Amino acid sequence: MSFYESLVEQTTAERDYLLSAPIIRDAMAGAVTRQRYVAFLGQAYHHVRHTVPLLMACGARLPPRLDWLRSAVIDYLREENGHEKWILDDIRACGADADAVPDAPPNLPTELMVAYVHDRIARDNPVSFFGMVLVLEGTSVALASRAAGIIQDRLGLPATAFGYLTSHGSLDREHIEFFRSLMDRLDDAGDQAAVVHTARVVYRLYADMFRSLPQAA
């Protein structure tokens, strides 16, 4: 079994906890409101805007033996830069106040998720960042494009309100294969353990972010 396959297997329970979040089930069933969708986008903004700083922190702390991974971090940086602006555009297309989002405090699980990964990079192992990559990109591949179509059909919003979901659904299909190749090159047991542990925790916190969103009436 490759490390990527082992990583996916070892995080099954946490992934199931995420996918069982009521708002995810509601969205896939078309039972979603504009308010709930905008609330999701607001929380997405608050973690996506940290992607580039987290990548920079990870790349700066990688040891010489992982120089090959630093090149991948640079590729990720080029891909991810500015994606938080897409989210603000989506919020505007929903008719909501995007300008208020950056100054609004994130929900606690969102704040804890970002802080946790920053801490793992600085205090434990910079490779920990890739545990977060598994969660966010894997979830996008599984849900994003399909959810965007269902929500748009249910709410009658313009396609311009779904730039983040639709772009990440397609982009992350390519990214996950790239991610798989990177993980299968990690041959140090400590690095592997750091990725697995971080993924497990981030799955929980990301799931709690969804659970912190407004509930159905």
Distance of CA 130 to the CA centre of its chain: 11
Domain spanning 3-211 has what CATH number? 1.20.910.10
Query: Per-residue pLDDT for the chain (217 aa), expressed as one digit of tens each?
Result: 899 999 999 999 999 999 999 999 998 888 889 999 999 999 999 999 999 999 999 999 999 999 999 999 999 999 888 889 999 999 999 999 999 999 999 999 999 999 999 999 999 999 999 999 999 988 876 687 788 889 999 999 999 999 998 876 555 566 788 899 999 999 999 999 999 999 999 999 999 999 999 886 5
The model's pLDDT over 53-112, given as tens digits with 9 standing for 90+, comes to 999 999 999 999 999 999 999 999 998 888 899 999 999 999 999 999 999 999 999 999
Tokens of 72: 């991948």
Domain ranges of the chain: 3-211
Residues 6+ apart with CB under 8 A from 132: 54, 113, 117, 198, 199, 202
